[in-house]
Amino acid sequence: MDGWRGRPRGTITRSLEVCVADQETQQPIEQLIANRREKLKTLRDLGVDPYPRRFRVSEAVSVLRERLERIPADELAEKPPKVRMAGRIQAIRGHGKVAFADLTDGVKKLQVYVRRDRLNEAAWQLFKLLDLGDFIGVEGEVFRTRTGELSVAADQLALLAKGLRPMPEKYHGLADREARARQRYLDLLANPESRAEFEARSRLVSGIRRFLEGRGFLEVETPMMHPIPGGASARPFVTHHNTMDMDLYLRIAPELYLKRLIVGGFERVFELNRNFRNEGVSTRHNPEFTMLEFYWAYADYELLMDLTEEMVCHLAESVVGSLTLPWGETTIELARPWKRLSLKDAVLEYSDLSPEDLGERSRLEKAAEHFGIDRIAERSDGKLLAELFEATAESHLMQPTFITGFPRVISPLAKSTEDDPETVERFELYMGGMEIANAYTELNDPVEQRRRFEEQARATGGVIDEDFLLALEYGMPPTGGEGIGIDRLVMLMTNRSSIRDVILFPLLRPRPAE
């Protein structure tokens, strides 16, 4: 992949012309690369292997730095420690027969001090052929410079890997959002805050595992390729198995498989992995995204709300170090307990609609029309209510809020409440104006589940997962189940407004071929 966009698309003839021109005038990036290739050749001529196999280090640069910083200056001067370290050259400051270079392991940097009279001639020649971005190994003594900078005075220098392309600018870093996503390695190198955000993501994910394992949950892996897509209503990606001559769907949710495991006697399971939905791309949607789903036998959605509060607070404490999250212009307070609000009450709170407007069909349709909701006629009352919620309340729900009171018709896998068969025991968690979690007391009545599937199939089409119904017929204990969108949780914890900023390699259109 060539990041250079200036080269014209053209015929072979034209390309040849460009090549010929290169040799005389040289295109800019190619000139920079040519400079480095020339140095590479010179190094080889000097007998240097520019890509050696190994270099034993005493410690990583950042570990070394942390340890050495604690040694008092006089002790350092008296008994200079000998070290071997390796890293990427971030900066070179030449001073004639002396030079300084910043060496980094990506976390911290440590200065290398090079003196001509301290090195042999070959090492000095090597140093002069180094570029920003090259990997080197250094052996030397630690000291502090006149200005107090911790440094390693090099006795030995080794080239570990020569870079052929210039690094992004050291001061401003890499700002172009497209380049940052396409060449994430450059983003990570040039923008420390980006690196920190992905480290935060990693801590969050491992924190979830520890939290759930600590409560007796077992991590499992269920199929990514489903013969029947289920567990959600999104459009799936389709693929094909050749020798079985069978269409398969990349999973839109693991739900139906995880519940089979509850049937099978695993009472607490979770899966933390990718889902794929063939829908639009936006700042809150990537076609593949990471979802935590967990199922807990003998629990219900009330217990899940408690667990969710506990888990998210715990994660914020360990990832951010606070229960107050900066979020754009505002802040999110995670202190418990969190607000609970029914779907209807949320609509009423964030609109001028009255309870009567949400009652009979004609009033509901009128309200939906007022908020610009389309395909009104074909949508159920419940769906219209959910649409109204999205149109009025969702974007305002900054503070953590459990939305409850979901209609049965849009919740085919959730169990009804005791006093109202049209409402289910379900909640969605909203924070920062986004849906973060979706949970319910699972429907475990196989006859009722079949009826719901049939109701759904009539309304929206689709195939009934008979294999899942078969499992339910063997008996599933009362169970609470929940899904949490990990990417969005990371967005909240790192204060990023775009999901692309928290996914290392988000889906992008390929650059057009040259």
Partner RNA sequence: GGGCCGUUAGCUCAGUGGUAGAGCAUCUGACUUUUAAUCAGGUGGUCGCUGGUUCGAUCCCAGCACGGCUCACCA
| Least Å from the CB of residue 213 to RNA | 27
d(CA 392, CA 345): 11
438 binds RNA (CB under 7 A): yes
| Least Å from the CB of residue 245 to RNA | 29
Contact 486, 272 (CB under 8 A): yes
175 binds RNA (CB under 7 A): yes
d(CA 59, CA 66): 11
Q: Which residue do the tokens 């390796």 mark? A: 86
173 binds RNA (CB under 7 A): yes
64 binds RNA (CB under 7 A): no
464 binds RNA (CB under 7 A): no
d(CA 391, CA 373): 8
Could you give the 3-state DSSP secondary structure of residue 35?
Answer: helix
Site for RNA in 283-302 (CB under 7 A): 283, 285
Q: Give me the phi and psi of 15, to 5 degrees please.
A: -60, -40
339 binds RNA (CB under 7 A): no
341 binds RNA (CB under 7 A): no
Choices 194-202, 231-239, 307-315, 346-354; region in contact with RNA by CB under 7 A: 231-239
| Least Å from the CB of residue 243 to RNA | 32
Annotate 404-438 with three-state secondary structure.
Answer: ECEEHHHCCCECECCCCCCEECEEEEEECCEEEEE
147 vs 243, beta carbon nearer RNA:
147
| Least Å from the CB of residue 314 to RNA | 26
| Least Å from the CB of residue 146 to RNA | 3
Choices 49-57, 64-72, 177-185, 197-205; region in contact with RNA by CB under 7 A: 177-185
37 binds RNA (CB under 7 A): no
Q: Which residue do the tokens 């009539």 mark? A: 458
Could you give the 3-state DSSP secondary structure of residue 291?
Answer: strand
Bridging pattern class, strands 268-276 and 218-219: parallel
Choices 28-36, 65-73, 220-228, 467-475; region in contact with RNA by CB under 7 A: 28-36
Say how many CA atoms lie within 13 Å of 452 toward its Cβ: 24
| Least Å from the CB of residue 281 to RNA | 7
44, 67, 177, 451: which one binds RNA (CB under 7 A): 177
Encoded one letter per residue, x for contact with RNA by CB under 7 A and - for no contact, window 234-273 reads xx--------------------------------------
93 binds RNA (CB under 7 A): yes
The two three-digit tokens of residue 103, written as one number: 């060496």
137, 163, 231, 236: which one binds RNA (CB under 7 A): 231
Site for RNA in 406-425 (CB under 7 A): 410-413
| Least Å from the CB of residue 161 to RNA | 16
94 binds RNA (CB under 7 A): yes
d(CA 453, CA 448): 9
Residues in the chain: 514
The C-alpha R_g of the chain, in whole angstroms, comes to 30
176, 221, 306, 467: which one binds RNA (CB under 7 A): 176
d(CA 474, CA 449): 13
d(CA 271, CA 222): 8
202, 239, 282, 354: which one binds RNA (CB under 7 A): 282
d(CA 286, CA 500): 8
Site for RNA in 96-135 (CB under 7 A): 96-98, 100, 102, 111, 113, 115-117, 131-132
6 binds RNA (CB under 7 A): yes
169 binds RNA (CB under 7 A): yes
| Least Å from the CB of residue 321 to RNA | 26
| Residue of 210, 211, 212, 221 whose CA lies nearest to 273 | 221
28 binds RNA (CB under 7 A): yes
Could you give the 3-state DSSP secondary structure of residue 386?
Answer: helix
232 binds RNA (CB under 7 A): yes
* Sheet with 246-250, edge to edge strand ranges: 225-226, 246-250, 238-241
35 vs 342, beta carbon nearer RNA:
35
CA distances to 236, 287, 292, 495 from 278, rounded to whole Å, are 5, 6, 19, 26
| Least Å from the CB of residue 131 to RNA | 5
